[in-house]
Structure 1
Amino acid sequence: MEIYQSPFGPVALARYPKRRSETLRAWDAADEYLINHIVEQQLISSDNRLLILNDSFGALAVTLCTGFPELQLLSTGDSWLSQRGAEANMAANHLTTNAVNLCHSLEWPERGQTFKLVIIKIPKSLSLLEDQLHRLQPYITDSTTIVAATMAKHLHNSHLQLFEKLIGTTKTSQAKKKARLAFISADSKAENSDNPYPKSLELRELNLQLQNHANVFSRDGLDIGSRFFLQNLPRNERYRTIIDLGSGNGLLGIVAAQKNPAAEIIFTDESFMAVASAKHNFSINCPNRVASFQVTDCLQGIEKNSADLILCNPPFHQQNTITTHIAEQMFRESKQVLKTGGELWVIGNRHLGYHVKLKRLFGNCQTAASNNKFVILQSVVSKN
């Protein structure tokens, strides 16, 4: 754990899950800027009801609860990892489990409640921010203080225009340590249009109907990588348990289910919105099939030696951070979850070099299909 020297004293913070050679912190300069601004402007009083959106690993919630033990705080976001990180950081700083009410992105409080202060860490996904601002509207009044933050290079006019359109007049701060704040004045006259999410998507070439929440990858159409993977998905009567790892809207698992009618499908993703989308889409497109859905970190909670086939399109971003550690974790855990003879099928951009990592881990890796941009790799769990 690293120590953040907050205005209230040292706060221990760590990313989740912990890794031996962690190079990234659980907070950034935008978190520091936000907290310092809140303290300097005395935005919190003993009766404040505070809402935090997209708190990374609980850095904001844990720090503010340390300084204001009586604070009524609700924190919501779409990342299971951030929620588990928040719980771990609360425990590390000796905060009780009820110090922060952690909710996910589709789980908001009952209407009629309002917040005096709203803090927003601006997410990478503009559509997620749009969905959140629509959901936020019933919980704010003209007297609500709203402050948003991100690193300056990630703050774009599109963010500011969205705040102006859906909440009210928006101004920005000067940059400090390459971070910037946005101050949004809640205006009851701001646009109160219907939330466009979740969005419906028809894939006529596959005869599929999909419904995608705001934070789902490729929610507006079929991306070229997924299209290529779908064209080459395996079919084999040996596949009794198939896992769609990092499932997104569940498209891979749905088509795999259609190709392998005897298989049970398991969908996993760390995004609450992704798993909700996958669950809905499977029920619509495979109404008489059995499947299970789990919001989790890669394959955490999935039984070892239980799967015959794992399908994986690994992400190489975590919010605004480019990283390969998620893919590497997916590969390691897949080897543990697959039965002997079980297969991991991975698609990736050719330049990512996944074949090197897979061959080192599994002892084998072959190309199932490739084109000028993507490669589909297959590794098999051999007998020890």
Structure 2
Amino acid sequence: MTFSFDALRRSPDVEGPGLVAVDAADRLILDESADARAGTHPERIVVIGDTHGALTLGAADAGARGIRVHQDALSGERALGRNAEGVGLVGTFTRMPLSPELVRDAEVVLLRLPRSLDALADQAGLIAHYAAPGVRVFAGGRLKHMSRSMNEVLGRRFGVVEASLARQKSRVLRASDPREGADPVPARADVDGLVVCAFGGAFAGATIDIGTRLLLAHLPEQMPNHGVVIDFACGTGVVAAELARRHPELTVIASDQSAVAVASARATAEANGVGDRVQVVRDDLLATQPDGSAGLIALNPPFHSDAAVTSALAPRFFREAGRVLRPGGELWTVWNSPLNYRGALERTVGPTRQVARNAKFTVTVSVAR
């Protein structure tokens, strides 16, 4: 079977105009790393941050096998799996968490630059600590999402950091000569009595964003007598931890598709002494939750798919919440007021009323039909 980037798809991730499965940065990373990969043992190639499989499958098409891959988003993992089946490259890679074993003795690392400098710092520290002394890192992205600070972050862990020429509004940073590395450690802060823990790249970091603050201030005092309580798209697990603190009888499910969010939410729950009552799940939407099983869901829906801003994400979350809520169950949602999600909530969940509103955000409660 002939490999073609044109065959790659984003599914099951959201698809639509301007949302692509492969871009110029993926192609440039592969081109810049081609000679290094050709001279490397095929099982010492690592891919980090591959959005939908272009880097992994491009390397596999060139002959690499046993590629170790870490993708933060579960939807990205599933897209890679589907794309591998579509182009006949199943079995060429192994999925791994962001851990020492991912990068141990690696000689070539292909890295899609994250938006978060803290995430890049975690990744660079891990590579420098555990990869082979001669490791070469090819870290690329779109120019509009890159900054000189990325060079500085890599420069703290590598003696040599060079930039490629730009091509099609993309660039690759080449890093080598690893210095002292480190394992990722979550940032930690006490915010109004709640300890927030965040590994690099978790939404809002070790803070509580203003939308979540508004939601927390207006969640109901009484929890449902029937059905589970879910912190949907939980991020660092702030809502789940606070609900578990307020209601000692309650067990809360904290769900997110992001590996770094899940790790952060577990750390937040443990730091607040509620780790035994917050069940953290890495899930594609709420796929592991049965129909009609939840009495209450709290949601601060995302509006980014990778680096792209899109309004197509939130309605998917609303539909999934409507499926999982039992009749009469409640979806408490906070959203940026100009997005005007109330109509979508009415259609996909049920009758919706405004609970609170400030200069930027709106909190609504929708009752499932």
TM-score (norm 2): 0.91
| Whole-Å separation in 2 of the counterparts to 1:14 and 1:26 | 5
Could you tell me how far 1:196 is from its partner in structure 2? 6.5
**Aligned residues between the structures:** 367
Could you tell me how far 1:195 is from its partner in structure 2? 5.1
- Match of 1:255, SS state, is helix
Q: Which residue of 2 aligns with 1:86?
A: 80
Residue identity opposite 1:81 in structure 2 = S
- Match of 2:76, SS state, is helix
Could you tell me how far 1:30 is from its partner in structure 2? 0.6
| Whole-Å separation in 2 of the counterparts to 1:325 and 1:10 | 24
1:269-317 residue CA offsets vs partner (Å, 9 max, x unmatched)? 0111211222232234244853322101111111110001100001111
Q: Which residue of 1 aligns with 2:100?
A: 108
Q: Which residue of 1 aligns with 2:202?
A: 216
> Do the aligned residues in 2 keep the contact of 1:346 with 1:378 (CA within 8 Å)?
yes
> Do the aligned residues in 2 keep the contact of 1:127 with 1:215 (CA within 8 Å)?
yes
Is residue 322 of structure 1 aligned with residue 316 of structure 2? no
- Match of 1:222, SS state, is coil
Aligned-residue Cα RMSD (Å) equals 2.4
Q: 1:341 to 1:62 in 2, by over 3 A?
A: same
Residue of structure 2 aligned with 1:27, choices 10, 22, 26: 22
| Mapping 1:18-97, distance limit 5 Å | 24-39=19-34, 41=35, 43-45=37-39, 47-48=41-42, 49-68=44-63, 70-97=64-91
> Do the aligned residues in 2 keep the contact of 1:61 with 1:75 (CA within 8 Å)?
yes
Residue identity opposite 1:312 in structure 2 = L
Is residue 336 of structure 1 aligned with residue 329 of structure 2? no
Residue identity opposite 1:335 in structure 2 = G
| Whole-Å separation in 1 of the counterparts to 2:73 and 2:174 | 25
Is residue 229 of structure 1 aligned with residue 215 of structure 2? yes
Q: 1:220 to 1:267 in 2, by over 3 A?
A: closer
> Do the aligned residues in 2 keep the contact of 1:47 with 1:71 (CA within 8 Å)?
no
| Whole-Å separation in 1 of the counterparts to 2:174 and 2:216 | 44
> Do the aligned residues in 1 keep the contact of 2:196 with 2:206 (CA within 8 Å)?
no
> Do the aligned residues in 1 keep the contact of 2:107 with 2:135 (CA within 8 Å)?
yes
Could you tell me how far 1:220 is from its partner in structure 2? 2.9
Is residue 310 of structure 1 aligned with residue 297 of structure 2? yes
TM-score (norm 1): 0.88
| Whole-Å separation in 1 of the counterparts to 2:171 and 2:52 | 20
> Do the aligned residues in 2 keep the contact of 1:52 with 1:119 (CA within 8 Å)?
yes
Structure 2: give runs of 5+ residues left out of the alignment: none
| Mapping 1:196-211, distance limit 5 Å | 197-203=185-191, 205=192, 207-211=193-197
Greater relative contact order (Cα 8 A, min sep 6): structure 1 or 2? 2
Structure 1: give runs of 5+ residues left out of the alignment: 1-5
> Do the aligned residues in 1 keep the contact of 2:68 with 2:102 (CA within 8 Å)?
no
1:216-236 residue CA offsets vs partner (Å, 9 max, x unmatched)? 222232222222211111122
Q: Which residue of 2 aligns with 1:370?
A: 357
Could you tell me how far 1:258 is from its partner in structure 2? 3.1
